[in-house]
Amino acid sequence: MFNRQRRKFFPLPDYDLSERKVKVTITGKVVDINYARKLAELPGLSLNEIILLDRVAKHKMLSDEEIRLLKTKGLIEGRKPNFHISSDVAAITGERASYIKQRGFKDEHYKKMILEYLGKYTEASKKDITELILDILPSVLDEKMKENKIRNIVYAMSKKDKTIENKGTNRNPRWVLKFI
């Protein structure tokens, strides 16, 4: 079954072994033919690894052993449960832009953007900072995770880096550059 789906570049079947039954879900259309074709053509990739990469693409859970296997081979990156294909796989499959969107940027990039904003406009509210970087945060993060990421970046800038300070209140912050 898996080999037949693989040859047709279809997504691989999903198995649910709960409730003392076996439930198989077969998707009958190709989500992205180019990605599927390139993935199937990757040299040295076993059927098991292709199945696991298919699960990563579908955002399905992986066991610790499966994660270790894919990470050791350099096929995935990220932290549990938000894995994405590695830069090497992205380069081969033509998914470079998707890779960057999923991986996101280093925190330093977001901090630099906030500092540039404050340099140009002198102050920023929480809403301003959120609007500035929310849409460029990694696509694998949900809304709550993105809010936490923004909060952590601002916290690091104010408490650890000491590059910005709050001239407003905790409820309504007004962030400005800190001059030492």
Q: pLDDT (tens digit, 9 = 90+) per residue, 62-73?
A: 888 988 888 888
Percentage above 70 pLDDT, the chain: 68
108, two tokens: 């330093």
**What would the two tokens of residue 121 be?**
């406009």
Q: Could you give the domains of the chain?
A: 2-103 (no CATH), 107-177 (1.10.10)
Q: Token match 């970087």: residue?
A: 133
Closest by CA to 81, choosing from 99, 61, 66, is: 61
Examine the pLDDT at 3 and tell me if it is beyond 70: no
From its phi and psi, is residue 136 left (phi > 0), alpha (psi between -120 and 50) or beta? alpha
136 pLDDT exceeds 70? yes
How many residues in the chain? Answer: 180
Beta pairing, strands 123-125 & 82-85: unpaired
Q: Which of 61, 82, 77 lies closest to 145, judged by CA?
A: 82
